[in-house]
Amino acid sequence: MILLKWKALSEKLQQELSTKAKKLSPNKDKYIWIIYLWDNESSKIYVWLKQKYWEKIWIKWYVFGQYKKWDKLPENTKEDYDVQLYMKQEYDNIWKIIDLIHYLNHDKDCVGIIVQLPLPEEFKKYKSQILSTISPNKDIDGMGGVLNGLSSIDLIDFVPATPKAVVKILKEYDLYNIRWKIITVIWQSNLVWKPLVLEFIKQWATVFSTNSSTPVEKTKELCKMSDIIVSCTWVVHLVNDEFIRDDKSQILIDVWYGHKAWKPVWDVDFESVKDKVKYITPVPGGVWPLTVACLFENIFDIQENLK
């Protein structure tokens, strides 16, 4: 079993992105805004990872959200009256959120807008409206749909952060020659599944996709047929040794995790599968930390694609 480690790759990306960021924002006046409306444990950790990574880069960040650490403006931010008003406002209806996004769309110093999912229950029915309001020029998560649509017909080269992290890990270990390979992606979502499946199809792989309606036995059957398995379900220890064949040839990538007894627990039951696969992402860890670097990289990818 070989661990697909991401740390060295993430650090290399950090150095490259820091250089690009200083060219983009020599006065450190550019910023990213995270709209974080719900105090969800998994989302909180992801926002924290973003904040820790961006502290090492030249781009500033603002977070409006429920996590009390960010109730006030970060230090050394620009003293912009409008920004402060938006930071202090209570976001108790959809129109205030839409108004904020419109403001950010037109602020030349804002280079990225992220709506942290999942949304609170009262806003879930407005999810498409909220995400589609983000300008494609600033949609570094790709959740508005325009960038993914253009990429799907090869007009631009854009991959959302989490699928990009999966692809980068495979490339780093020289495993991305996937023409005619069989791949199963477990679970369906706009954030990971659709763009990841699309990227695999572009490389001429044969891709199976399962979802919450797929019988577990059918998912196990497809996984055993596959050369690569990607799990992105949030279901604790869904993937165990019953999903893996016995020839120690498969690649297993764990994307998401859930919580058990207030602790993060990954999709893959690592101990039960580690001796049956050839390559596997580390647990804890998965691809999340690399995802943060890829999210930041998308600032520059978008500017290159939409010139």
Report the C-alpha gap between 137 and 210 in whole angstroms: 32
Alpha carbons 243 and 277: distance in angstroms, whole number: 11
Higher pLDDT, 244 or 236: 244
What is the tens place of the pLDDT at every residue in 119-129?
889 999 999 99
Residue type, 224: K
The pLDDT, as a whole number, for residue 84 is 74
For residue 170, give the 3-state DSSP assignment.
helix
Q: Kindly report, as residue ranges, where domains of CATH 3.40.50.720 are found in the chain.
A: 161-288
Q: Does domain 26-145 have CATH number 3.40.50.10860?
A: yes
With beta carbons less than 8 A apart as the criterion, state whether 89 and 3 touch.
no
Whether residue 236 has pLDDT greater than 70: yes
Would you tell me how many other CB atoms lie within 10 Å of the CB of residue 8? 9
Exposed / middle / buried, residue 275 (Cβ in 10 Å: 0-12, 13-18, 19+): exposed
Given this model, what pLDDT does residue 76 score?
Answer: 44
Average pLDDT, stretch 214-240?
92
What is the pTM for the complete model shown? 0.87
Secondary structure element (H or E) that encloses residue 17, with its range: helix 7-24
Give per-residue pLDDT as tens, 17-43.
999 999 888 888 888 988 988 776 667
Q: Return d(Cα 110, Cα 61) in angstroms, integer.
A: 9
Task: Supply 235's token pair.
Answer: 């279901």
> Which pLDDT does position 266 carry in this prediction?
67
* Torsion sign, CA atoms 136, 304, 172, 154: positive
Both tokens of residue 146?
Answer: 């325009």
- Phi, psi angle pair for 193, to nearest 5°: -60, -55
Q: How far apart are alpha carbons 268 and 182 in whole angstroms?
A: 19
Percent of the chain with pLDDT over 70: 88
- What average pLDDT does this structure show over 35-57? 75
Mean pLDDT score, 187-208: 90
144 and 131 in contact (C-beta within 8 Å)?
yes
- Bridge-based pairing of strands 251-254 and 228-231 is parallel
Q: Which position has the higher pLDDT, 90 or 161?
A: 161
Pick the CATH number of 161-288 from 3.40.50.300, 3.40.50.720, 3.40.50.620, 3.40.190.10: 3.40.50.720
The closest alpha carbon to 195, from 251, 236, 141, belongs to 141
Average pLDDT over residues 163-189: 93
Q: What's 28-88 look like in SS3? A: CCCEEEEECCCCCHHHHHHHHHHHHHHCCCCCEEEEECCCHHHCCCCCCCCCCHHHHHHHH
- Gyration radius of the chain over CA positions: 20
Instruction: Kindly report, residue by residue over 56-108, the tens digit of the pLDDT.
Output: 788 888 887 654 444 444 444 455 667 777 877 778 889 999 999 999 999 99
- pLDDT > 50? residue 49: yes
